[in-house]
Amino acid sequence: MPRKGDVHVNPQGDKWAVKVEGNKQVSSTHPTQAKAIDAGRAAAKRNQAELLVHGRDGKIRERNTYAPKDPHPPKG
């Protein structure tokens, strides 16, 4: 399966959004960052892509790759 776009978890107002790179719209919004991360992780696993979690300041604070041959897989 070819790799699709990476998945980003970003703040969006008072909620958290999950967006796949290349898509014009967000995939989903969630009331907490934790719930958005769970949804983003599932999408990244499906897409065999990278999950990038942004903080409220917009900076990437965590990243995990869910590609089949990742030399540095996530711990958990």
What is residue 2's predicted lDDT score, i.e. its pLDDT? 46
* Alpha carbon separation from 69 to 12, 30, 57, 61 (Å, rounded): 32, 30, 31, 23
pLDDT, position 5: 87
Whole-structure pTM value: 0.84
Q: Splitting the chain (76 residues) into consecutive groups of 10 residues, what average pLDDT does each group show? A: 78 96 94 97 94 96 84 62
DSSP letters, 12-39, are ETTEEEEEETT-SS-SEEESSHHHHHHH
User: Residue 12: beta bridge partners?
Assistant: 15
| Structure tokens belonging to residue 47 | 């897409």
Closest CA to 62 of 4, 8, 3: 8
